Structures are given as C-alpha cells and as structure tokens.
Chains A and B, each alone.
Chain A
Amino acid sequence: MVVVLVALVSVLAGIASAAAQDSSGEDEKVVFRVGATNDIDGFNPFKIVEIPSYEVMGLTYDLLVETSPKDSSPAPGLAESWETSDDGLTWTFHLNKDARWHDGKPVTSEDVAYTYQRILDEEQGLYIDAVKQIDSIETPDKHTVVFTTKKPSVQMLNTYVYILPKHIWKDVPADETKSFKNEPVIGSGPFQAVEWREGQFARLEANPDYFRGAPHVDEVIFQFYDNADTMVQALKNGEVDYIYNMPINLFKSLQNQEGIETNSAPDPGFTELGFNLYEPTPEAIEEFGAPEKTTGNPALLDPRVREAINWAIDEEVLTDKVLQGEGVAGSTLVPPALATYHLELPESDIQGFDIERSRELLAQAGWEDTNGDGTVDKGGEELQLRLFLRTEDSDSATQGAFLEDWFEKAGIGLETKVMGDTALTDAIYAADYDMFIWGWGSEADPDFILSVLTCDQIMGWSDTFWCNDRYSRMYAEQKEQLDLDERAATVKEMQRIAYEDNPYVILYYDNQLEAWRTDKFKGWSKTPSDADPGQVAFTFTTKTYMDLQPLSAGGAGGDESGGTSPLLFVGLGVVAIAVLAGIVVLIRRGSAEDRA
C-alpha cells in the first residue's frame, strides 16, 4: 500500500512539473483550427468524397484555372493566362513560371498534360465527366499546354482537376491509382497536408515558398466532430477557430455571443419533396436494372395530383418556421445562388399556397370526398400517401408536422415515417415509397443538379424515376452551348419544364451556416464577395486561408494548455493523496484494533 502511495505521489508530482514546463516553453506556432462534422477520406485526390477532403486537397494542390473569390468567374491558377481558338476547339494555357512542387521541383506543362491524360486513360470517375471532351493534349514548351476538344465545350475553364506531379504519380500503376496512400502529399499549393489521424484531425503546414506568396499562418488543422453540439461548445471554449455546417438551433445559440461571428450564406443547394413516379417497363428493368414493381401510389403519376400537392404546401412558412429564416423559399431546380442560371418565376406562374386551388386540381383528377370522411377518394379508394423523412435531418419532425396539417386540409391522407439515410436509399432504389424529403447540393455549374432529373440517371442519381424526353434532350444540348446566354436560356427552360411537371416540390434553399471566433485572427472575408456574399471557408477557393493573420503577433498559439492546468493537477494530486492517506490511516487503525 505504501509503495503504491509513493508511486502515485511521484507520478502526480512529475505531471505537475511537466505541466509547469509546458506553460512556459511552448513554441508559438500560429495554428488556424477548422471544425467539421465529417472526416476527410484520405489524401488521394482520386478517391475523395467528403467535402472537407476537397478543402484539404484544394489547399494542397493547385488547379489550372481557379475561381475568382470576387464573382466566381475563371481566374488564374497554375495558368496565368489562356486563350481559345475561334471555333472553340483549341485551348492554350500559359503556366506561371514560378510554381514549384513542395519538394522544390518546378511545375511544368508535362505535369499538367500527364494529369489530364491519366484521368482520360483511366476514366477516373470523379473527374472524367469534366474532361472527356478532350481529344488531345500537347506541350509545345515547358510552360504551355494546348488542349484540343472534340466539340466546343463550356467546361474547359471549370474542370476542377488537381494538377499532380508527374515525377510522383508516374510510379503509381493504374490499378493502384485509388488505393495509393499519397503520403507525403506533394502538391504545389499554399499548404501541404502532412498528417491525418482518422476521425480526429488532418494537419497542414504552410508552404513558405508558395508562388503567390506565403500564407500568414503556420498550420491549418481540420478537426472532426461526430457531434455538432460538441463542435459548437468547442468553438465557445476556443478549441477551434471556425466551424461550419451545424443545425439551426445551435447556430442561433451562437448569435450575439461575444467574440463569435456567425454567417448564414446562400448555398447552392435545396431541400425537396420527391415523388415516386416509377412505372415499370421492360426497358427500364433491362437497361437500368430498375426494380420489377413499384409500391408507389399510382395517383401520383397524374401531374395534376402533384400540382395539387404543391398548392397545398406553403414554402414561405416552411422557410420561416423550419429554417427560422436562414434560407429562401423554394421554387425551381437551380438554386438562386447560381444567379446566371436560376429561373426566377413571375408571381403569376408560382404554384403558391392555396388549399382551394389544391382541392380543385384534385377534383379535376377525379379525387373528391364523396363519403364525407374528410379524405378525397376515387372509385371507392381513399387517397392515402406515405411520406418518408430522414433521421439525419434535425428538422424532419417540423417538416412532417406542417405537411400533415396542410395535407389534411386538402383532403389527402398522410402517413409519415422517419428513417435513416441508408434505409431511405434502399426504399428509393426499390421504388418502395410514395414521397420523401431530402436535399441536394449543387456545384457552381448547374450541370450536375440538372443531370439528377434526366432519364439516364434512373438507378443512378435519380430519386424520382421521372423521365421527360424533352428535358433530357435539352440537358444534352446545354452541355455544348458555349454562349453563356444561350446556355442560360436552355437551362431556364429546363427548370420550367420540371417546375410545371413537379417531380420535385422544392421546399427551400437552405443557407450554409458557419461561425468563427473573432478574437484570434483578422482577415475574414466572404467568397464570392460580389453580388451574393458567400461563405468564409469551404468556398472552393483558398482566399480566407491566405488572408488570415493572427491579431497579436505570436500570442495566438497555445493558450489552451497553459494557465489553469498545473494548478488543477496539483489540486487533483492533493485530493488523491488525501484519499490515499485516509485509507492508510483506516488500515493502520484496523490492524491496531486487530492486535488489540
């Protein structure tokens, strides 16, 4: 017992002295800490999926053409300048001559050509869609790359391909492209990812030799939280400097807190009510591997019923109550954040909130309340629909409550069920649902979000089985329209088709929510800064990371581990010693009594 006691005391003493040392002699590194709720999935740009991974890769690698933090237009990346031939088939890029890889070797046109060629040769899933129009790649000199495309293409300035060093990747065989660990990461960006602890953090060190100037912070650390509540508390406690993507209630709790700034930015995404519009056909089963039967309510196949449902939903109220105002009422497929392409409907075309109108449309479709039970019926069958909501969405209960109320007034029977994403995904691919509420995120280019509703995406991205020939044909058309106005017109017409046929009722465009501490860094700015001010980070640009500067030089480092800890551990030690001493005394007394 005495031995244990002595051992414990010495350990505690050791800790206390170590803690004292710790507070005095720490390196004052300037670390910018970013909190996220998703882990990254590695440093290999060919297998990343999670959003924070793109942030880490975007800081480590450069693109040929970046997007301008001002207005999201194409801006110089590794290429300082570029030109297009008149027919739109030849693209010439001139590289910045100062660019260097993290290991000191110069970045040349060889690297650029190699990266694109590898993606083409291996048909790499994450990037191939954006580059498959490329026919040939030439490198007339060390700093010039010339691409020839098969057809005029809008995507050459928007390929989002990280330029990789040929001298590293040429040794990675094709069948290992995805499994290659890529550690250490050699890129050319302002930071270099140096450490990843799965589910904990990813650490990036600044690249002092970056060709566009060194960042002002020494490190960026991405910290991953499985629980958004904890992440918010960590921000309040100063363990993290910036967090993004949190439930609205938590966001509201951070507003008007001292030392914390919040930002609710328009985000290119939306939340929609989707319908099961699947009608099994031999072609669909054969061609797409679609299920052989559907449990969807056939009433929904009538566009009038879907329009009736749209009239029975008040998008404004949902935005107000569910999002607590942090978003915009939903309408068309391309979110307003993509201002050039978003179709803003005139008031007269909006399927607003009007229960009478909804009942009329149902009556036109043959659904009327003939037996007076409050629910419309047709041929002796009541209109009864299932609505699946997501466990993962903290707002699903409120969404369901509003819809239940409105549907009841319109005479539509509704049964809501909350389920996990995986179960819902299963239900959708098995065509075993009537309606669901889920969301999509769009890229800066509308191509992806438009693709979701095309016929080709059945059993792919499609979650409604909607197939409109005209829409799908126009989707192919807009891909080749080089003229921005022409393309925008096509994209807007596509949105009109979708809006009128209602495969989705778009409920709202949710804002992206972020918060940061104002007492450690200055230089926060929103991207894009023009028109719609956007987010501070996770903008697919490096602006904030390059601009941030510590408020007080050198004083921003380790204030967490200093201060209270030695005192605290001494206190704990004292308590432990007291307890042990008490036990010893008891034992002594006990044995004394024994002897007595």
Chain B
Amino acid sequence: MLVLNFFLFRILPGDPERTFIRLQRISPSQIDEVEREFGLDRPLWVQFFDYLGDTARGELGISYVFSRPVAEVIGTALWPTILLVGVATLAATVIGTLMGIWGAWRRGSPIDTSLLGFGLVTYAMPEFWLGMLLILGFAVALGWFPTSFMTTPGLVDASAGAQLVDTMEHLFLPALTLTLALIGEYVLIMRSSVMEAMNEEYVTTARAKGMREALILRKHIVPNALLPLVTLAALNIGFIVSGAIAVETVFSWPGLGLLTFRAINGGPDYPLLQGLFLLFSVAVILANLLADLLLGLLDPRIGRA
C-alpha cells in the first residue's frame, strides 16, 4: 500500500517545483533552494526510502501547499468531515433502510415504484449538480440556509449556543445533498435484500403458524435482510474519512474532501496526498475488519466458520 501510495502520485502530471515557481518571481538559485528544501533534487528511489522511513516513524512530511506538517493539516480537516459525512451516512442509512423495507413490502404498488424511482434518480444524480440545485432553492430562492462554509466567517463574539445554531444551519444543505446522494444505494440494497428474504422458507413457515404479516416482517425478514446492509454501512464508514470531494467543494466545507481537491490542484502536493490516502486506506481496511467482526456477531453461521 505504501509503495502504491508513493508512486501513484509521482505519475500525476505536474511538477510541484515548477508549479511553485511559475507563480513567483524567483531566481534559478532559489529554484535549487526549493528543490533542496523539499528533497526533490534527489533520485526517486532515495525519496521513496525516505518516505518509508518517515512514515514508519509517524512523520508524514510538510505539505507543499500549506507549508505546515501534513498531520496538522489533516487534523484540522478531519472533524468537519466526520461531522458532515457522519450525519449524512446516519440519515441515509436510517431513512434509506426504512424506504427499502417499505418498498419491498408493497412491491409492485405505486409506492414501491416511486420509492425505487427516487432511489435510482438520486443515486445517479451528480452530487455537484444536486448541491447547486439545493443552493438555488433553499439558499437563494427561500433564503433559509447559507451557501457555504461551516460557520459564518468571523463569528467570534457570539455565544456558544449561537455558534452551534450557526454550524447547524451551515451543515444542513451539504448534509442534505450527501444524504440524497447516498440514500439510493440503501433503498436499492435493502429492497432487494428484503424481497429475497421474503421468499425464504422460514417466512412461509411463519405464515403457516398464523403470524401477523407486520410481525413476520419485523421478526423474521428484516433482521436477516439487514446483513448485507451492515457490510455496506461499515464500508461507507471507511469512506467517511475520504469525505465527499464534490459536496465539500461546492459548499466550501473545510473537510478532507476539499483538502484533497486543493492538494491535487496546488502542486500536486505529494506529502499531503500521500498522507490523505494513507489515512483513507487505513480507514477502509479498519472498516472492513469491523464489518467482518460485526457480521460474525450478527450471523452465527459466519461466526462459527
């Protein structure tokens, strides 16, 4: 993974040294200075072993764009992303699951068709465009919510309560966009999973016992149908940290997605990109592990195997 992380970004077009310099009036001696400062003058393999050594020691290097330690830059952007993607994932999971169950339960009915349509449309919709539409509607036309940032810039004297309200107002539109973007997946998976479970023999058995349909759904179908959803939700937790590049960029939300966008735009900023993708990889691996362990607990068949 570290190997891939290092070389992947070296293939990117662009030369950080040149990009830096094109913007500034700088003399050739200063070019050398920049090169030395960032170690760009040494052979690639030397840079690679330095990278391995530094990473092992927990040093992620200095960001070219921000001129600060990568860990610090990532640290500031981590919480906004966890807040935004966390809220959106939670909302999408709960609402999407309920919608999926409902659709499967009434399969073939107009309710099912419209839920399925809703899921497919939001799933296919570009987040970028959806975000702009919501801004046009809720921010510009109705004037209910602000368009960008996590707080109103310069809100320093306000009380803690006012700041919390301010953050929630700013959170609403990006979170709604991301929820809508994620929800389709849950609707579709939950719907098919429930329908599959409905054809199982234990459901027929339950019916034969004379159980009420609602009870069959809740006691027998849903718990079994939830299993694939656990995997999906856990995997999405892994992606929480990678943020939502498009949504964060539209709303200027100061999270990891926006940071990734800036790291690619301004350089490319190798140390920062490496740091970010190291974090993303670790998060996805941990989330996979979590999903496996969780499934083991929930599904005795897997646990014993």
Contact B254 A199 (CB under 8 A): yes
Contact A561 B261 (CB under 8 A): no
Contact B13 A422 (CB under 8 A): yes
**Total interface residues on B, using CB and 8 Å?**
59
Contact B262 A125 (CB under 8 A): no
Contact B153 A126 (CB under 8 A): no
Interface presence of B23 (CB below 8 A): yes
Given contacts A226-B261, A237-B140, contact A198 B66 (CB under 8 A): yes
Contact A129 B25 (CB under 8 A): yes
Interface presence of B289 (CB below 8 A): no
Closest to B22 in A: A425
Contact A239 B147 (CB under 8 A): yes
Stretch at the interface among A67-75, A135-143, A351-359, A562-570: A562-570
Contact A223 B149 (CB under 8 A): yes
Q: What does the 1/0 interface line of B215-251 toward A look like (CB < 8 Å)? A: 1001000000000000000000000000000000111
Interface residues of B in 115-173 (CB under 8 A from A): 132, 135-136, 139-140, 143-144, 146-150, 152-154, 156-162, 164-166, 168-169
Measured CB to CB, the closest approach of chain A to B41, in angstroms, equals: 13
Contact B22 A22 (CB under 8 A): no
Residues of chain B within 8 A of A82, CB atoms compared = none
Question: Out of A14, A195, A230, A238, which one reaches B250, CB within 8 Å?
Answer: A230
Residues of chain B within 8 A of A426, CB atoms compared = 13-15, 18
Contact A422 B15 (CB under 8 A): yes
- How many angstroms from the CA of A357 to the CA of B12 in the assembled complex? 43
Q: What does the 1/0 interface line of B246-266 toward A look like (CB < 8 Å)? A: 000111101000110110000
Contact A22 B24 (CB under 8 A): no
Measured CB to CB, the closest approach of chain B to A106, in angstroms, equals: 30
Interface presence of B19 (CB below 8 A): yes
Q: What does the 1/0 interface line of B12-32 toward A look like (CB < 8 Å)? A: 111100110011111110100
Contact B147 A18 (CB under 8 A): no
Contact A200 B162 (CB under 8 A): no
Closest to A205 in B: B154
Name the residue among B152, B215, B262 with the largest chain A CB count within 10 angstroms. B152
Residues of chain B within 8 A of A22, CB atoms compared = 158-159, 161-162, 165
Interface presence of A21 (CB below 8 A): yes
- How many angstroms from the CA of A328 to the CA of B161 in the assembled complex? 52
Interface presence of B61 (CB below 8 A): no
Interface presence of B199 (CB below 8 A): no
Given contacts A227-B252, A560-B152, contact A18 B161 (CB under 8 A): yes
- How many angstroms from the CA of A227 to the CA of B146 in the assembled complex? 15
Residues of chain A within 8 A of B140, CB atoms compared = 233, 236-237
Contact A225 B26 (CB under 8 A): no
Report the contact-size class of chain A (Cβ under 8 Å from the partner): 35 or more
Interface presence of B96 (CB below 8 A): no
- How many angstroms from the CA of A197 to the CA of B252 in the assembled complex? 12
Residues of chain A within 8 A of B212, CB atoms compared = 593
Interface presence of B67 (CB below 8 A): yes
Measured CB to CB, the closest approach of chain B to A207, in angstroms, equals: 17
Contact A561 B249 (CB under 8 A): no
Interface presence of A183 (CB below 8 A): no
Residues of chain A within 8 A of B26, CB atoms compared = 125
Residues of chain B within 8 A of A29, CB atoms compared = 157
Measured CB to CB, the closest approach of chain A to B96, in angstroms, equals: 15
Closest to B161 in A: A18
Residues of chain A within 8 A of B153, CB atoms compared = 33, 197, 200-201, 203, 221, 223
Contact A179 B67 (CB under 8 A): yes
Interface residues of B in 30-88 (CB under 8 A from A): 30, 66-67, 76
Interface presence of B268 (CB below 8 A): yes
- How many angstroms from the CA of A221 to the CA of B153 in the assembled complex? 7
Interface presence of A224 (CB below 8 A): yes
Interface presence of A219 (CB below 8 A): yes
Q: What does the 1/0 interface line of A169-209 toward B look like (CB < 8 Å)? A: 00000000001000000000000000101111101000000
Interface presence of A31 (CB below 8 A): yes
Contact A15 B165 (CB under 8 A): yes
Measured CB to CB, the closest approach of chain A to B34, in angstroms, equals: 10
Name the residue among B135, B160, B214, B251 with the largest chain A CB count within 10 angstroms. B135
Contact A226 B147 (CB under 8 A): no
Question: Out of A19, A125, A221, A419, which one reaches B24, CB within 8 Å?
Answer: A125
Measured CB to CB, the closest approach of chain A to B297, in angstroms, equals: 21
Contact A230 B67 (CB under 8 A): no
Measured CB to CB, the closest approach of chain A to B179, in angstroms, equals: 14
Residues of chain A within 8 A of B144, CB atoms compared = 564, 568
Contact B159 A420 (CB under 8 A): no
Closest to B29 in A: A123
Contact B165 A565 (CB under 8 A): yes
Question: Out of A234, A420, A590, which one reaches B147, CB within 8 Å?
Answer: A234
Contact A226 B164 (CB under 8 A): no
Interface presence of A553 (CB below 8 A): no
Measured CB to CB, the closest approach of chain B to A131, in angstroms, equals: 13
Residues of chain A within 8 A of B76, CB atoms compared = 198
Given contacts A129-B25, A233-B140, A426-B13, contact A239 B158 (CB under 8 A): no
Interface residues of A in 205-245 (CB under 8 A from B): 219, 221, 223-227, 229-231, 233-234, 236-239
Q: What does the 1/0 interface line of A107-140 toward B look like (CB < 8 Å)? A: 0000000000000000101100100000000000
Residues of chain A within 8 A of B152, CB atoms compared = 239, 560-561
Residues of chain B within 8 A of A198, CB atoms compared = 66, 76, 254
Residues of chain B within 8 A of A224, CB atoms compared = 252
Name the residue among B14, B147, B259 with the largest chain A CB count within 10 angstroms. B147
Contact A18 B252 (CB under 8 A): no
Interface presence of A3 (CB below 8 A): no
Closest to B262 in A: A199
Contact B15 A18 (CB under 8 A): no
Contact B154 A422 (CB under 8 A): no
Closest to B148 in A: A230
Interface presence of A26 (CB below 8 A): yes
Q: What does the 1/0 interface line of A546-571 toward B look like (CB < 8 Å)? A: 00000000000000110011001100
Interface presence of A49 (CB below 8 A): yes
Contact A420 B166 (CB under 8 A): no
Contact A420 B14 (CB under 8 A): yes
Given contacts A15-B168, A225-B252, A230-B250, contact A593 B22 (CB under 8 A): no
Given contacts A197-B254, A225-B252, contact A125 B30 (CB under 8 A): yes
Residues of chain A within 8 A of B261, CB atoms compared = 226
Contact A18 B14 (CB under 8 A): no
Interface presence of A429 (CB below 8 A): yes
Contact A560 B146 (CB under 8 A): yes
Question: Out of B136, B165, B218, B268, which one reaches A233, CB within 8 Å?
Answer: B136
Contact A420 B13 (CB under 8 A): yes
Q: What does the 1/0 interface line of A262-278 toward B look like (CB < 8 Å)? A: 00000000000000000
Residues of chain B within 8 A of A2, CB atoms compared = none
Residues of chain B within 8 A of A229, CB atoms compared = 132, 250
Interface presence of A87 (CB below 8 A): no
Contact B15 A561 (CB under 8 A): no
Closest to A567 in B: B144
Contact A564 B136 (CB under 8 A): no
Closest to B215 in A: A593
Contact B252 A422 (CB under 8 A): no
Residues of chain A within 8 A of B148, CB atoms compared = 223, 225, 230-231, 234, 239
Known A15-B168, A422-B267, A593-B215; 9 more pairs at CB < 8 Å = A195-B156, A197-B254, A225-B252, A229-B250, A233-B135, A239-B148, A422-B12, A425-B15, A565-B165
Q: What are 15 contact pairs spanning A and B, CB under 8 A?
A: A14-B161, A18-B160, A47-B67, A126-B25, A221-B153, A225-B148, A226-B261, A226-B262, A239-B147, A420-B14, A422-B18, A422-B268, A425-B14, A460-B28, A569-B165
**9 tightest CB-CB pairs across the interface, nearest first?**
A18-B161, A422-B14, A201-B153, A423-B13, A22-B162, A234-B147, A221-B154, A203-B154, A19-B165
- Residue numbers of A with Cβ under 8 A of B are 14-15, 17-19, 21-22, 26-27, 29, 31, 33, 42, 47, 49, 123, 125-126, 129, 179, 195, 197-201, 203, 219, 221, 223-227, 229-231, 233-234, 236-239, 289, 419-423, 425-426, 429, 460, 560-561, 564-565, 568-569, 590, 593-594
